[in-house]
Structure 1
Amino acid sequence: MQIEVSTKNMFFLECFSSETRVKIIELLGEEPLNIKQLSQRLEISSAIVTKHIQKLEQAGIVTSESMTGVRGTQKVCYLQLEQAMLQFKAKKPYEHPTNTISIPVGQYSSFEVRPTCGLASPTQIIGVIDDPRYFADPQHVHAGILWFGSGYVEYRIPNFFHSNQKLRSLEISFEICSEAPGFNENWPSDISFFINETPLGQWTSPGDFGKQRGVLSPDWWGNGFTQHGLLKIITVNPQGSFLDGTKISDITIQDLDISFAKDIHFRIASLEESTNCGGITLFGKQFGNYEQDIVVTMHEDK
C-alpha cells in the first residue's frame, strides 16, 4: 500500500502518533490477540484498548472478529496490513502520455494449473472446483476470482504505443494471496513474476486470507472461502524491477524485449520447485478488498 503524506490521509497517519497504537501493532505482528490480552500486556484498560483498535481498524491496519470463547464472546484482533510506503512528494504528471489498461483476471491468454483450483464469476462458480479443464471453459472470461495450487496464468497486455514512442516504465497492480485448501492465514507461497518470459523476481505471500470477510465479497461467496489478498504493485524501469518500491531484481525495462506493435506477456506463477509452493489466488474488482482488476500503466519516456 502506498500512502501519500497529506491531510487527506490523516486518519492513517494519526495511527502512528500514539506510542500505545504502535505497541499494539508490534504485538499483533507477533500473533493475534484479544482485547483482554492486549489490555494485560499494555497494562491499560480494555476500554482504552478498544478505542485504539477502532482507530487502527478504520485505517485498515488492523482487523478483528468476534469469536466464542470459554467465557463468552471475545474480540480477536489481527494485523491486516503487511507494509505501507509513505510518499512525501506528490507525483508530478508525466509530460508525455501514459496508457492505463484494466485487464479482468479471467481474461488470461494461457494457463497451466493444478489443484486446488477453480474460478468464480460474481454470481457463481464456473464449472467444477478442482478440475483444471474448466480453466479452458469459454466462461473463464467472466471470472472475478481464480485460484490454483501450482502452475501459472498469463495475460496479454496490448501495447498501444506508436512507433515513435519509447516506453520508460511499466507498472502492474493486482490483489493476490496464497491458495490453501479452504483457507489458511499462515500459508506462505513463493509467487514468481515474468514479462515476455523474463523472470522479474519472486515475492512470498504470507497466507491465504479467509478469517475476515472481503469488503467486496458477493453475498453468496461462503465464509469458508478465501476472502481477500494484498494489493501488490510491480514496477519495471531503467533502474530495475521493484515490488511495492522494494527492488526484486536488476531486470530493467530495456531487458524485456518490448517493441512497437507487439503485445506484452505477463505471467504469474507458483512454481513446484520453489521452497514454498503455496499456490495463488487472484482477485478482480468484485471480490476481495480492492475494487480493481489487473491494472497496467505504461509511461512514455520523456
Structure 2
Amino acid sequence: MSESKQDIMRFPPSKITDVAKALSGDLRVRILEALGDTQLSVTQLAEALGVAQPTVSINIQILEQAGLVVTAQGSNREKLCSVSCRSILLELPSRPGDGLHKTEEIRMPIGMYSLCSVQPPCGMANRDGLIIGSTDDPRAFYMPERTDAALLWFSGAGYVEYRFPNPMPPGVSIDELRLRAELCSEAPSFRMDYPSDITVFVNDLPIGTWTSPGDFGDRKGKLTPDRWTSGTEYGVLTEWSVRADGSYVNGARAAATTLERLSLKYNQPIRLRFEIREDADNRRGINLFGSAFGDHPQDIVLSFIRFKEHQEGKES
C-alpha cells in the first residue's frame, strides 16, 4: 500500500475542478494530513480532528469523488479511508472543452419555469406536501413561492417552459442532448388508465411525444411526503434525447429533429417546453415531479454528452 501511495496520480483537465474543490477546504486538507500513510475509519478521523462524524463523512465523500481518497468496508462495516497517492499531476486544458466532463448535467427545479399556460384543475405543492397559493387558481403559477414547488400539475392542454444555460464553450460540439424527468397524466384524484400525450419542445422544435398511461396513485410514492393525500403519488422517469440523426423517447425514434436543427449557441438559453398540445389525441394534462416527490430523487435533468473528443480548432 505504501509503495502505491508514492506514485503520481495524473488528473485530466476535466477533473481539475473536482480536485480543486476537494483541496479548497481546510478540513479536507487536515483529513489528508491525518491519513498520511495509514488507514483510518471515519470514527477515528472524527476523534483525531475533533469534529462531528457526519461532517467527516461528507468531506470524505468529496475527497473520494475527486479521486484523492479511497475507501473500503471494514470488518465491522465501518468505512475505512486512505489516500490514493502521495503526489498529483494536473493536466491543464489546451483547447476549448478540455475542462469539461464528458457529460455535463444541469438540474432544474420544476418551479423555475420561465413561461406557462395552465388551466384548472391545476396547482403546486412544496416538498412538505403543502399547497402553494390556492388549488385550481392559475395565478398561483406566478407567485414567487413557485420556485419551491416539488409537484406541479395542470389539466387539459397547456405547457410549462424552462430556460437552461448552455455549458458548452464556443467551438465545442456535443453528440447528444438528453432530458430526464418524472411525470404522468393529470386526473381528478388519480386514475391509472388515463393517457395523456406529453410533447417536449427544444427551441420550439418537437423532439418527441410520450403518452403517459395514467395518473398514478395506487401506492405511496417513495419520496412523496406522508401529509400529501391528494391522489397523485408518483410518475414515470422518462427520457428524451436528440442526436445527429434525430430525436428519441426512451430509446425509440420519435421525431426528425436533429442536434443541428436545434441551433444551440453558447450565449443563448436553451428553451425546453413540456406541452400537451391542443391537437393531441389525449389532452389529459400533466403532473411534473421534483426531487422531493414521486419515486425518483431528481428534478428536471438536461445532459450535454460527448461520446468522443472533438478536435475543433486543433491541427491534424
TM-score (norm. length: structure 2) = 0.64
Q: What is the SS of the residue equivalent to 2:139?
A: helix
Q: Which one has a bigger Cα radius of gyration?
A: 2
The ranges of structure 1 where at least 4 consecutive aligned residues each deviate by more than 3 angstroms after the TM superposition are none
Letter matched to residue 197 of structure 1: D
Structure 2 partner of 1:204? 211
Structure 1 partner of 2:34? none
Letter matched to residue 206 of structure 1: P
Query: Is 2:122 the counterpart of 1:117?
Result: yes
Letter matched to residue 263 of structure 1: P
Structure 2 partner of 1:291? 297
Question: What is the distance in 1 between the residues matched to 2:101 and 2:123?
Answer: 41
Question: What is the distance in 2 between the residues matched to 1:247 and 1:103?
Answer: 25
Q: What is the SS of the residue equivalent to 2:140?
A: helix
Deviation at 1:273, TM superposition (A): 2.2
Structure 2 partner of 1:78? none
Query: Is 2:271 the counterpart of 1:265?
Result: yes
Deviation at 1:160, TM superposition (A): 1.6
Structure 2 partner of 1:126? 132
Question: What is the distance in 1 between the residues matched to 2:255 and 2:232?
Answer: 30
Deviation at 1:98, TM superposition (A): 2.7
Alignment of 1:24-39 (within 5 A): none
Cα deviation, 1:184-243, whole Å, max 9, x if unaligned, reads: 111010111100001122111110001111010111111x42000000011101021011
Question: What is the distance in 2 between the residues matched to 1:253 and 1:285?
Answer: 28
**Cα contact 1:126–1:143 (8 A) shared by 2:** yes
Deviation at 1:96, TM superposition (A): 6.1
Query: Is 2:106 the counterpart of 1:101?
Result: yes
Q: What is the SS of the residue equivalent to 1:254?
A: helix
Structure 2 partner of 1:214? 221
Question: What is the distance in 2 between the residues matched to 1:228 and 1:277?
Answer: 19
Give the gaps of 5 or more residues in structure 1. Answer: 1-94
Of 192, 196, 199, the residue aligned with 1:189 is 196
Structure 2 partner of 1:144? 150
Alignment of 1:13-52 (within 5 A): none
**Cα contact 2:199–2:210 (8 A) shared by 1:** yes
Question: What is the distance in 2 between the residues matched to 1:196 and 1:233?
Answer: 17
**Cα contact 2:182–2:237 (8 A) shared by 1:** yes
Letter matched to residue 210 of structure 1: G
Letter matched to residue 214 of structure 1: G
Of 275, 278, 285, the residue aligned with 2:281 is 275
Of 231, 244, 262, the residue aligned with 2:250 is 244
Question: What is the distance in 2 between the residues matched to 1:192 and 1:233?
Answer: 12
Structure 2 partner of 1:253? 259
Question: What is the distance in 1 between the residues matched to 2:293 and 2:266?
Answer: 34
Instruction: Give the strand-richer structure, 1 or 2.
Output: 1
Question: What is the distance in 2 between the residues matched to 1:219 and 1:299?
Answer: 37
**Cα contact 2:186–2:284 (8 A) shared by 1:** yes
User: Percent same amino acid among aligned pairs?
Assistant: 42
Q: What is the SS of the residue equivalent to 2:147?
A: helix
TM-score (norm. length: structure 1) = 0.66
Question: What is the distance in 2 between the residues matched to 1:190 and 1:98?
Answer: 29
Letter matched to residue 120 of structure 2: P
Letter matched to residue 98 of structure 1: T
Structure 1 partner of 2:50? none
Cα deviation, 1:128-162, whole Å, max 9, x if unaligned, reads: 01111110001001100100012000011111211
Deviation at 1:277, TM superposition (A): 0.3
Structure 1 partner of 2:187? 180
Aligned length: 207
Q: What is the SS of the residue equivalent to 1:167?
A: coil
**Cα contact 2:207–2:240 (8 A) shared by 1:** no
Letter matched to residue 190 of structure 2: F
Question: What is the distance in 1 between the residues matched to 2:233 and 2:227?
Answer: 12
Letter matched to residue 277 of structure 1: R
